[in-house]
A and B are shown apart, each in its own frame.
Chain A
Amino acid sequence: MSFLTIDKATKRFGGLTAVNEVSFTLQEGEIAGLLGPNGSGKTTLINLVSGALPVSGGVITLEGKTLSSRRPDVVARAGVARTFQLVRILPSLTLMENVMIPAVFGAKAHWGRAAEVVAETALAQVGLKGREGLRAGDLTYIDQKRLELARALAAEPRLLLLDEWLAGLNPTELQQGIALIRSLRETGITVLMVEHIMEAVRALCPRALVMNSGILIADGETGAVLSDPQVIAAYLGQVDAHA
């Protein structure tokens, strides 16, 4: 049985079909990149998997358990964590409190020192060790991104959904970010990452999936997918691609 199964997932907003019968599976421990031009439906698909949006059709399962159209807290407790396209931290809380939240309310429901240990481990994993007592609102942009990732890791997830987590970083920060995500591979977490930065996709994802206008147009080995004429056309437009 596949780890994550997305079977004809569809999302319609009135007359617009943002995700149109998308189907694919992920094996446990796999890291896959989800690509596509702006408005192609990538974030909507992440929202369907994480429970932020109910599906209009199709089924999404994690090891046979249905995730689609479940509340986000139910999906989170099933072992799915996510980051957001626009970084979302809780500015008035400390770093420790930010990261403790999924440890406390996730599947394992840690409390007290046990939750702190999980949070400390996650903060150390992303390089924020020793800053637990700082207010999250006082962090730099890259550190806010690290914090958001630490919060996702503190959920001790089995599936991690990263929505353009590397966007907006400078070249040095990007290399740090790539190294950080690469280190997750050793933990065995399955990762589905929406990403526009090809350098990162090539470095991190053996497999790439490409969406365009809500449809999955390519799925395979990253190098082959990125040189697929249909994918190039989707990114550059038909005329440019043929030129």
Chain B
Amino acid sequence: MRIFLTYALPLAALALLAIAPLYASAYQLGLLLGIATYVTLASAWALFSGHTRYISLATVAFYGTGAYTVAVLNESLPYPMVLATAGLIGAGLALVVGLSTLRLAGIYFVIFSFGLSELIRELITWYEVNVTGTLGRYIFLDLTPQDIYWQMLGLGAVTIALTAWIHRRRLGLALRVIGDDETVAAHSGIHLARVKLIAFVLASTIITLAGAIASPRWVYVEPSIVFNPTVSFLTVIMALLGGANRLWGPALGAVPLFLIFEWLSSDFPDTYPILLGLLFIGVVFLLPHGVLAGIEQLRQRRKA
């Protein structure tokens, strides 16, 4: 039963999701791609923030960097090289940001991570306006929506598999201890900066790759599109809804919230930010530890 739940069920679900585009309409494929993107983003975000409890609002800084890298390089390098370059840029940026900020704790880290996204957006805008003389860029790649979806599905699967692997390693235990009490972690022999940096770089590289993979869908990109802060907020709330410190929690939160977001933004275009805000508040108040933890608590109460 355990082997079935751990390996067979996820692999069967992955196979089903892989063949889904063959039977889906263009609209349904768009939804599937959106879901796969946010499952990847929320799972990658949780890889670092889920256990350490460092709430990062820098998701869009890396996501946008990935998208912009493709926009800049798509005509000069082969696509696999463009993706590899995006991943390297994301990792390098995360390394620099992590080294300078992971000593910050609590609200200071949240504010810095939000500021980072705004800073990168403004820097790119300034560069494009003052140096290249044009704000937007076009992405012409010979990729179908199916190609993009399969890449994103693969990245999402790799992210969840990597998280599962880390959970069972020293790194996973170290992240959990850091989240509970950094002082105890340090006095138990855990190199705080190294552990946090490894997790932050891994998560940020995946998020950058997600931005790079998703970018051909836009065709035209500019900083205000790819550095939209809503991406960061949605990612956080999706991970929290499902349970950020559980393997499947972020995915569980991402699916319904993405569908609700799509419905609200198309049917209530003027009021959806208000409704979304209320939804965020509701999640934090009613399910502070996520749906999976809530279900577990209910089970324990019934047993008691």
Contact = CB atoms under 8 A, between A and B. Distances in A.
Given A97-B173, A111-B170, A105 B180 contact: no
7 contacts: A51-B187, A73-B192, A76-B188, A84-B183, A88-B183, A104-B173, A111-B170
Contacts of B181: 88, 90
B187 A72 contact: yes
Contacts of A97: 173, 176
Interface in B141-177: 170, 173-174, 176-177
Interface residues of B, number: 17
Given A88-B181, A88-B183, A93 B188 contact: no
Interface string B178-193: 0011011111111110
Contacts of A88: 181, 183-184
A229 interface: no
B192 A101 contact: no
Given A88-B183, A90-B180, A73 B189 contact: yes
B74 to A, nearest CB: 44
Contacts of B186: 51-52, 71-73, 76
B183 A102 contact: no
A43 interface: no
Given A73-B191, A82-B187, A90-B181, 17 more contacts: A51-B186, A52-B186, A52-B187, A73-B186, A73-B189, A76-B186, A76-B187, A76-B188, A76-B189, A81-B187, A84-B183, A88-B181, A88-B184, A89-B184, A93-B177, A104-B170, A104-B173
Contacts, number: 67
Given A76-B188, A155-B189, A101 B170 contact: no
Contacts of A100: 173
B207 to A, nearest CB: 26
Interface in A83-102: 84, 88-93, 97, 100-102
Nearest to B182: A72
A119 to B, nearest CB: 12
Contact of B189 (A90, A92, A106): A106
Nearest to A105: B189
Contacts of B173: 97, 100-101, 104
A151 B181 CA distance: 14
B65 to A, nearest CB: 31
A68 interface: no
Interface string B21-65: 000000000000000000000000000000000000000000000
A144 to B, nearest CB: 13
Given A105-B170, A111-B170, A90 B187 contact: no
Interface in A143-186: 151, 155
A93 B192 contact: no
B183 A106 contact: no
A77 interface: yes
Contact of A52 (B170, B183, B189): B183
B183 A90 contact: no
Contacts of B185: 101
A203 to B, nearest CB: 27
Contacts of B190: 73, 101, 105
Nearest to A100: B173
Given A88-B181, A91-B180, A93-B180, A105 B174 contact: yes
Contacts of A93: 176-177, 180
Nearest to A107: B189
Which of A72, A75, A102 gathers the greatest number of chain B CB atoms within 10 Å? A72
A5 interface: no
B146 to A, nearest CB: 42
A212 interface: no
